[in-house]
Chains A and B, each alone.
Chain A
Amino acid sequence: MIGNIKILFHQGKQFIPDVTRAEVPGIFRGRPEISNEPVEVNSLAELCPTGAIAANPVSIDLGKCTFCGECAFAYPGKIKFTKDYKIATNYREGLIIKEGENNPVSLNPELIRKEISKYFSGSLKLRQVSAGGDNSCELELNACGNVNFDMGRFGIEFVASPRHADGIVITGPISENMAEPLQICYDAIPDPKIIIIAGTDAISGGIFAGSPALNRDFLKKYEIDLYVPGNPIHPLTFINGVLELIRRRK
């Protein structure tokens, strides 16, 4: 007993007091900023392993970006990855970062369904489906609930059955072999329900885009409530994105 209390005491405070303002350590690659510096656009775009860089204007699609940072190493004056981890949004175009525009990524409140804040703002139970995910986003989603990030303090939790859930979090590029289980799981969640897709692989297929072993038809059928980019997602990106989605607005 005394031993346990000692251990507890030795941990000190581990939780992040304010997840909306916490600074991440080191050289995290979050929201990129693209300057107006002229560069040879084709060779810049050619660098990218997933075709996330487009020309006229130069832009990076965070839904495709693997955050490897190769473009920033090759063109340091043109592209810079900032430590801004708030890069989740609720519309696909919101993930496209254009040159010269250094605005934060945010949700479009117009597009958030009314029932989301009404029902989920104090409590959101989520079911997670890994559909071809490589276990990196899954590790980070688990980390969202650990004593450091402690997502549970906002009433956001992962649950063991779709029957207990208010929504689904999909990771991975959605393999053909997972297409049906994913659909069954989604159908089993009671209405109203939300869909969050987490990680580059889930949003665009990432490095797996175009593989014949995938079946991404599920995403064509439904409106997506939240896109959380990252490779893998950072827990703070996920938590802040979800908090923005469910928060009560005037």
Chain B
Amino acid sequence: MSNYIAIKNNQTIPLQSIPVLKYEDILSLNTAFLTDESKHCVNYFGYKVRDKLKLVCCVADDKDSTILISSSEINPADGIYPSFSAKHLAFHIFERELHENFGIEYSDHPWLKPVRFANNRVNINSQIENYPFYQIKSEELHEVGVGPIHAGVIEPGHFRFICNGEQILHLEIQLGYQHRGIEQLFIEKKKLLQRTTLAESVSGDTVAGHTTAFVNLWESLCGYKADEDLKFSRTLALELERVAIHTGDLSAICTDIAYQLGSSVFGRLRTPVINFFQTWCGNRLAKGLVRAGNNHFYFSRQLGGQLEKLFDAYEPDYNEMWNELKNLPSALARLEKAGVVTHEQASSIGTVGMAAKASGVIRDIRLSHPHDLYSHINHEPIIKNHGDVYARTQVRNEEIEQSIGYIRRILQNTPEENKNRKSLEAPQPNSFVLSLTEGWRGEICHCAITDEKGELIHYKIKDPSMHNWLALALSVRNNEISDFPICNKSFDLSYCGHDL
């Protein structure tokens, strides 16, 4: 018998079919998986089963499009456990979460710090104002604290720098300020519309990404096969969101290097794209658009024609601005060689999405675990190898062009609306399901577990930011502290997606 079960993206399986291993076996199995760069951990979490804690580890095999699921049952009070993270750093954030929420003690975890000060944490005495920052005792060095509230209109998080003069030696990022208890609310709020609304609010800049992950998961759990027009609108929303946010990010990157022209032009180029979402579904950030087993906003041919016209106007202005930026020495001087994440670093800490692709690590769910229309698109990820701010900027630029190409292509075959849609059945009992999507920031993973009545008993969300915040912290080492804003913006990570 195998000690794991291999499933496809959005496949629902009986809970019993997941092999239950001894702790040392789940440890050796999953850490051995990750010695191969084509495998990476998409989720590793725990939930209470009677008086035990059940651990579920999900490792995606990018080569054969499967996700390898294994589990174990432990009692956290039983003692101290060896950590996965000592063997592979990519597990560090998951084990920190297990430590914070369930009190598992690890003997050899390299960085067992609080994750988000969740309201249901075990140690209620661990308070956000007393985060145990790493310190270096030296008269030569000084510390700089930034946040939680930042200078601009952005979400809160605290950055603590240890600097030698202008140079950053170390950055520690403390999060948790945005914690709203969203995973618990998925269980408590029983209506599908409430859960969909929650999915839309995981991270309000990735509405299409998170909501598509949720509805694909939910439809699988209910044994529902989505019609072509539903798949079409989800794929279109994901790609449109990518174009919109990448364009906005290019504007913000220009702002952070004080390049006013780029900031204004990319900023105004984003406007028609998000306004198109409003034309389509009544909301500039696509809230209300993606629904399980339903779509109130059929994407007509007429809308398709409007979108093509929009891109006809967008592309020349965009290209003109990009060509100016990429040939501007004063801009390149700020972007190149700043905030470098090496391939080795990116791979070892489990970086995903755009940040991974800019460091030469191929992580793209659209290629490795396609869902909706992606299996027809034959996606080829944009890969850059320098790992610097400019590489992440280039990935955005090329992804914008690529996504517009995909959108133009799928618009050739706008499916008819299915007017006699089946309704959703109840979720299957005693089941496990996992859903992956590639949001503009990177891989999003949602997992759900149901009880014998088909009620949700556990819901787990992983935003790409969970992995990538550490990449930001590593990228700024040995950079000037004045380059921090531009490094930060080049990742554009989510605080609320991390804090949940």
Which residues of A are interface residues toward B (Cβ below 8 A)?
A: 3-4, 6-8, 10-11, 14, 24-29, 47, 49-50, 66-70, 73, 81, 127-143, 146-148, 158, 160-161, 172-173, 175-178, 180-181, 185, 201, 206-208, 211-214, 231-232, 234
Known: A178-B148, A211-B184. A7 touches B261 (CB 8 A): yes
A-B contact pairs, 28 of them (CB 8 A): A10-B316, A25-B275, A26-B276, A28-B283, A67-B287, A69-B282, A69-B288, A130-B156, A131-B156, A132-B496, A133-B496, A135-B154, A135-B494, A136-B285, A138-B153, A138-B155, A143-B271, A147-B267, A147-B268, A173-B180, A181-B149, A207-B201, A208-B181, A211-B181, A212-B184, A213-B119, A214-B180, A232-B285
Q: Is B321 an interface residue (CB 8 A)?
A: yes
Closest chain B CB from A176 CB (angstroms): 6
Are B261 and A135 neighbours in the complex by a CB distance under 8 Å?
no
Q: What is the size, in residues, of chain B's interface with A at 8 Å between Cβ atoms? A: 65
Q: Is B349 an interface residue (CB 8 A)?
A: no
Residue numbers in B under 8 Å from A28 (CB-CB):
278, 282-283
Known: A47-B193, A175-B179. A134 touches B282 (CB 8 A): no
Residue numbers in A under 8 Å from B275 (CB-CB):
25-26
Q: Is B197 an interface residue (CB 8 A)?
A: yes
Known: A11-B268, A213-B118. A132 touches B191 (CB 8 A): no
| Bound Cα distance from A135 to B265, whole angstroms | 22
Which of A132, A172, A175, A177 has most chain B Cβ within 10 Å? A177
Are B153 and A134 neighbours in the complex by a CB distance under 8 Å?
no
Q: Is B284 an interface residue (CB 8 A)?
A: yes
Are A135 and B176 neighbours in the complex by a CB distance under 8 Å?
no
Closest chain B CB from A180 CB (angstroms): 7
Closest chain B CB from A68 CB (angstroms): 5
Are B324 and A134 neighbours in the complex by a CB distance under 8 Å?
no
| Bound Cα distance from A211 to B187, whole angstroms | 12
Closest chain B CB from A229 CB (angstroms): 13
Which residues of B are interface residues toward A (Cβ below 8 A)?
A: 117-120, 128-129, 148-149, 151-156, 176-182, 184-185, 189, 191, 193-194, 196-198, 201-205, 207, 248, 261, 264-265, 267-268, 271, 275-276, 278-285, 287-288, 296, 316-317, 320-321, 324, 494-496, 499
Known: A4-B324, A135-B203. A234 touches B284 (CB 8 A): yes
Residue numbers in B under 8 Å from A212 (CB-CB):
119-120, 181, 184
Are A158 and B153 neighbours in the complex by a CB distance under 8 Å?
yes
Beyond known contacts A131-B177, A146-B264, A213-B119: 19 more, CB 8 A cutoff: A3-B324, A7-B261, A11-B268, A11-B317, A26-B279, A49-B194, A49-B196, A68-B193, A132-B179, A134-B203, A135-B203, A140-B285, A175-B179, A175-B499, A177-B179, A180-B129, A207-B201, A213-B118, A232-B287
Residue numbers in B under 8 Å from A8 (CB-CB):
261
Are B204 and A139 neighbours in the complex by a CB distance under 8 Å?
yes
| Bound Cα distance from A224 to B296, whole angstroms | 36
Closest to B195 in A: A49
Known: A177-B179, A211-B184. A26 touches B287 (CB 8 A): no
Are B193 and A134 neighbours in the complex by a CB distance under 8 Å?
no
Are B283 and A67 neighbours in the complex by a CB distance under 8 Å?
yes
Closest to B285 in A: A136
| Bound Cα distance from A172 to B149, whole angstroms | 13
Closest chain A CB from B174 CB (angstroms): 10
Are A7 and B194 neighbours in the complex by a CB distance under 8 Å?
no
Partner of B204, one of A29, A127, A135: A135
| Bound Cα distance from A27 to B298, whole angstroms | 13
Residue numbers in A under 8 Å from B296 (CB-CB):
69, 73
| Bound Cα distance from A101 to B196, whole angstroms | 31
| Bound Cα distance from A37 to B181, whole angstroms | 39
Are A133 and B185 neighbours in the complex by a CB distance under 8 Å?
no
Are A146 and B178 neighbours in the complex by a CB distance under 8 Å?
no
Residue numbers in B under 8 Å from A143 (CB-CB):
271
| Bound Cα distance from A213 to B194, whole angstroms | 18
Closest chain A CB from B153 CB (angstroms): 4
Residue numbers in B under 8 Å from A50 (CB-CB):
194, 197
Are A136 and B205 neighbours in the complex by a CB distance under 8 Å?
yes
Residue numbers in A under 8 Å from B196 (CB-CB):
49
| Bound Cα distance from A158 to B324, whole angstroms | 29
Residue numbers in B under 8 Å from A10 (CB-CB):
316-317, 320
Are A24 and B285 neighbours in the complex by a CB distance under 8 Å?
no
| Bound Cα distance from A66 to B195, whole angstroms | 13
Closest to A180 in B: B129
| Bound Cα distance from A50 to B287, whole angstroms | 15
Residue numbers in A under 8 Å from B495 (CB-CB):
135
| Bound Cα distance from A135 to B128, whole angstroms | 21
Are A130 and B155 neighbours in the complex by a CB distance under 8 Å?
yes
Known: A25-B275, A26-B278, A68-B193. A175 touches B180 (CB 8 A): yes
Which of A3, A130, A148, A206 has most chain B Cβ within 10 Å? A130
The list of the 8 closest CB pairs from A to B, nearest first, reads: A136-B204, A26-B279, A213-B181, A134-B204, A160-B151, A213-B119, A49-B194, A26-B278
Are B185 and A208 neighbours in the complex by a CB distance under 8 Å?
yes
Are A137 and B204 neighbours in the complex by a CB distance under 8 Å?
yes
Closest to B202 in A: A134
| Bound Cα distance from A47 to B193, whole angstroms | 8
Residue numbers in A under 8 Å from B120 (CB-CB):
212
Are A135 and B284 neighbours in the complex by a CB distance under 8 Å?
no
Are A68 and B287 neighbours in the complex by a CB distance under 8 Å?
yes
| Bound Cα distance from A160 to B152, whole angstroms | 6
Which of A47, A68, A142, A206 has most chain B Cβ within 10 Å? A68
Known: A130-B155, A135-B204, A213-B179. A25 touches B321 (CB 8 A): no
Residue numbers in B under 8 Å from A231 (CB-CB):
283, 287
Closest to B198 in A: A207
| Bound Cα distance from A31 to B207, whole angstroms | 23
| Bound Cα distance from A96 to B71, whole angstroms | 50
Known: A132-B179, A135-B203, A172-B178. A7 touches B324 (CB 8 A): yes
Are B287 and A208 neighbours in the complex by a CB distance under 8 Å?
no
Are A49 and B193 neighbours in the complex by a CB distance under 8 Å?
yes
Known: A177-B176, A213-B118. A201 touches B201 (CB 8 A): yes
Closest to B281 in A: A27
Residue numbers in A under 8 Å from B152 (CB-CB):
142, 158, 160
Are A132 and B178 neighbours in the complex by a CB distance under 8 Å?
yes
| Bound Cα distance from A178 to B496, whole angstroms | 12
Residue numbers in A under 8 Å from B198 (CB-CB):
207
| Bound Cα distance from A208 to B285, whole angstroms | 19
